[in-house]
């Protein structure tokens, strides 16, 4: 279990990094925290000719919190974002989800942007970005572009980044007024990838009735699945909402697959249970 | 091959290695520090955990070239002149049997108690959740973490007096 040989590039500026990526194109992989890529290399499931190690590009090690939301640079580690009180105050879903990402020691190295770029359907952060309708910022020698979450996650372990492109950061919009969030997942062991997981964002109107309810799921489809459950909940106050109907709707609107961890039916069952749980908690928080 | 230099346990060390050299193998094979153990090489077991600029990380999930210029503390460096409180607590509480997992636990727990000197039971469980032990059944490891917290508190109390 040793990685195959590769040429190592250690740019110190973004310009240098983009220049190497342009030169090496499809033969290159970006190395950020290495917590997903290095296991793949060690198991020889990937063998890129070039690794562009961005760990020395200090300008990417940023975390900016404004009223609009949280902007996370490509070198900000999971642990830094998780610990940031400002980030948690502006968008509490980040911390709630990060606590389920692997173990604390893995979070010391793994990056938020790397997790998005890796696009694992069982990962927490892609579902969070999708629910909040956040964006990924990409750069190449040709210029910059901003990619919406719905477009960014193209397939299992597949983002819509192009060869030569680097994800420089991601933006997670702030929690709106009169809104609440919740995150829950079921994994065999704490820290493992979940068999199913759900994140909810619920808003209430001035009469304290549910005015919007959306849930994003992980581990139930090839890319994060976002369902709008506003209609099913019929704009009622949370105490009279039919959460079970929302759960049933969710179960009927997902096309789960089976794998070694869980059958398709069991996954769908879990997603239903989690739907109810996160909707209740998020609605409670919104009041 | 490239020359890779980094500070290990307070001493500047250098050796030449390929870019694909994992930090774990660099420590063990190139620097002869075999205290850092290697169990799975994909981040799951935690045996290879070392402190990287003070923070616990998996040395099997980092290339030595990435670590160049940084500071690494391995199990060999935890007890400067004798065993550290965490090491003594593991000994006192029988927190090890074969000892294979122990270096990783010691590094993880050292950082855990530095950041949180009085962890609750849940915080201890979360803190060591990424380290696997196939022998002890964890109960004595958990006891050892609390015991280490006591030892550190006692000893820093003595230092204040
Ligand atoms: C034991 C273990 C358990 C884990 N459990 C979970 C879990 O429960 N949930 C979870 O979400 N994750 C889990 N992870 C993965 C972890 O969260 C990773 O940190 C994360 O998926 C990838 O981030 P990274 O910075 O380590 O990226 P890397 O491993 O460096 O890169 C991953 C991929 O993304 C690409 N990439 C990275 N950054 C960029 C960039 N800026 N621009 C373009 N491409 C880029 C790389 O080329 C590579 O293809 C686990 C990891 C381990 C080892
Ligand atoms: S050898 Fe590094 S985590 Fe198992
Ligand atoms: S003491 Fe043997 S694996 Fe932990």
- Of A6, A35, A104, nearest to B43 by CB-CB distance is A35
pTM for this prediction? 0.96
**How is chain A split among helix, strand and coil, in percent rounded to 5?**
40, 25, 35
Q: Is the pLDDT of residue A264 over 60?
A: yes
Q: How far is the CA of B36 from the centre of ligand 3 (A)?
A: 14
Q: Where are the domains of chain B?
A: 2-77, 85-160
With contacts defined as CB-CB under 8 Å, which chain A residues touch B38? Answer: none
Question: CA A116, CA A80: separation in Å to the nearest integer?
Answer: 16
Question: CA A12, CA A59: separation in Å to the nearest integer?
Answer: 9
Which of these ranges, A73-82, A257-266, B33-42, B115-124, has the smallest mean pLDDT?
Answer: A257-266
Residue pair A185/A198 in contact by the 8 Å Cβ criterion? yes
**Average pLDDT of chain A?**
96
Q: Is the pLDDT of residue A77 over 80?
A: yes
Q: Is the pLDDT of residue A19 over 90?
A: yes
Q: Is the pLDDT of residue A286 over 60?
A: yes
Q: How far is the CA of B95 from the centre of ligand 3 (A)?
A: 9
What is the pLDDT, as a whole number, of residue B159? 59
| Residue % of chain A over a pLDDT of 70 | 100
B60 to A6: CB separation less than 8 angstroms, yes or no:
no
Protein fold of B2-77 = Ubiquitin-like (UB roll) (3.10.20)
Q: Is the pLDDT of residue B158 over 70?
A: no
Q: Where are the domains of chain A?
A: 7-53, 58-173, 181-286
Question: Which residues, numbered 68 to 127 in chain B, qualify as contacts with chain A under a Cβ-Cβ cut-off of 8 Å?
Answer: 108, 126-127
Contacts of A172 (CB under 8 A, 6+ apart): A69, A70, A71, A72, A91, A93, A94, A128, A129, A132, A134
Q: How far is the CA of B100 from the centre of ligand 3 (A)?
A: 5
The dihedral built from the CA positions of residue A241, A247, A252 and A255, taken in this order, carries a sign that is positive
Residue pair A65/A83 in contact by the 8 Å Cβ criterion? no
Over residues A100-126, the pLDDT tens digits come to 999 999 999 999 999 999 999 999 999
Q: How far is the CA of B93 from the centre of ligand 3 (A)?
A: 14
How many Cβ pairs within 8 Å bridge chains A and B? 87
* B140-151 mean pLDDT: 98
A39 to B58: CB separation less than 8 angstroms, yes or no:
no
Under the banding of pLDDT at 50, 70 and 90, the label for residue A191 is confident
Nearest ligand 2 atom to the CA of B38 is 1
Over residues A121-171, the pLDDT tens digits come to 999 999 999 999 999 999 999 999 999 999 999 999 999 999 999 999 999
**Average pLDDT of chain B?**
96
Report whether CATH 3.30.420.40 matches the domain B85-160.
no
A208: closest CA of chain B, how far (Å)? 35
A31 to B20: CB separation less than 8 angstroms, yes or no:
no
Under the banding of pLDDT at 50, 70 and 90, the label for residue B160 is low
Question: CA B18, CA B26: separation in Å to the nearest integer?
Answer: 10
CATH number of A7-53: 3.30.43.10
Give the right CATH number for A181-286 from 1.10.260.40, 3.40.1190.10, 3.30.390.50, 1.10.238.10: 3.30.390.50
- Check residue A262 and report its DSSP letter: -
A42 to B60: CB separation less than 8 angstroms, yes or no:
yes
Interface probe for A, chosen from B6, B41, B52, B60 (most Cβ of A below 10 Å), is: B41
Report whether CATH 3.30.9.10 matches the domain A58-173.
no
Under the banding of pLDDT at 50, 70 and 90, the label for residue A260 is confident
What is the pLDDT, as a whole number, of residue A157? 96
* A25-47 mean pLDDT: 97
Under the banding of pLDDT at 50, 70 and 90, the label for residue A1 is confident
* B11-31 mean pLDDT: 98
């Amino acid at each position: 279990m040793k990685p195959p040989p590769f040429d190592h590039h250690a740019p110190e500026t973004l310009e240098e990094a983009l220049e190497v990526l342009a030169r090496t194109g499809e033969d290159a992989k970006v190395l950020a925290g290495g917590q997903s890529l290095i296991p793949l290399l060690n198991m020889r499931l990937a063998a890129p000719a070039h690794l562009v190690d961005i760990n020395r590009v200090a300008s990417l090690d940023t975390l900016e919190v404004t009223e609009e939301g949280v902007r996370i640079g490509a070198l900000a580690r999971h642990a830094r974002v998780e610990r940031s009180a400002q980030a948690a105050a502006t968008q509490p879903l980040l911390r709630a989800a990060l606590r389920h990402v692997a173990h604390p020691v893995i979070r010391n190295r793994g990056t938020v942007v790397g997790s998005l770029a890796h696009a694992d359907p069982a990962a927490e952060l892609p579902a969070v970005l999708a629910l909040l309708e956040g964006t990924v910022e990409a750069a190449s020698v040709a210029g910059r572009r901003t990619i919406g979450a719905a477009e960014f996650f193209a397939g299992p372990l597949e983002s819509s980044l192009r060869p030569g492109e680097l994800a420089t950061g991601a933006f997670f919009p702030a929690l709106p007024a009169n809104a609440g969030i919740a995150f829950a997942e079921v994994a065999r062991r704490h820290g493992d990838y979940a068999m199913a997981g759900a994140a909810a964002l619920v808003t209430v109107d001035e009469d304290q009735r549910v005015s919007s309810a959306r849930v994003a799921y992980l581990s139930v489809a090839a890319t994060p699945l976002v369902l709008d459950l506003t209609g099913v909940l019929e704009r009622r106050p949370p105490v009279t909402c039919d959460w079970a109907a929302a759960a049933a709707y969710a179960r009927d609107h997902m096309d789960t697959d089976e794998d070694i961890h869980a059958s398709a039916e069991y996954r769908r069952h879990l997603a239903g249970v989690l739907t109810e749980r996160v909707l209740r908690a998020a609605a409670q928080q919104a009041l | 091959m490239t020359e890779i230099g980094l500070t290990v346990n307070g001493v500047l060390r250098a050796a030449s290695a390929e870019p694909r050299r994992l930090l774990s193998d660099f420590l063990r094979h190139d620097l002869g520090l075999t205290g850092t153990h290697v169990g799975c090489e994909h981040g799951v077991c935690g045996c290879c955990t070392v402190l990287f600029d003070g923070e616990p990380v998996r040395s099997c999930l980092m290339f030595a070239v990435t670590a160049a210029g940084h500071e690494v503390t391995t199990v060999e460096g935890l007890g400067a002149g004798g065993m550290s409180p965490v090491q003594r607590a593991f000994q006192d509480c029988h927190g090890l049997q074969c000892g294979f997992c122990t270096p990783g636990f010691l590094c993880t727990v050292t950082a855990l108690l530095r950041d949180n000197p009085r962890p609750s039971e849940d915080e201890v469980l979360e803190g060591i959740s990424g380290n696997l032990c196939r022998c002890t059944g964890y109960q004595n490891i958990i006891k050892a973490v609390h015991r280490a917290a006591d030892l550190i508190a006692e000893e820093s109390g003595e230092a204040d007096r």
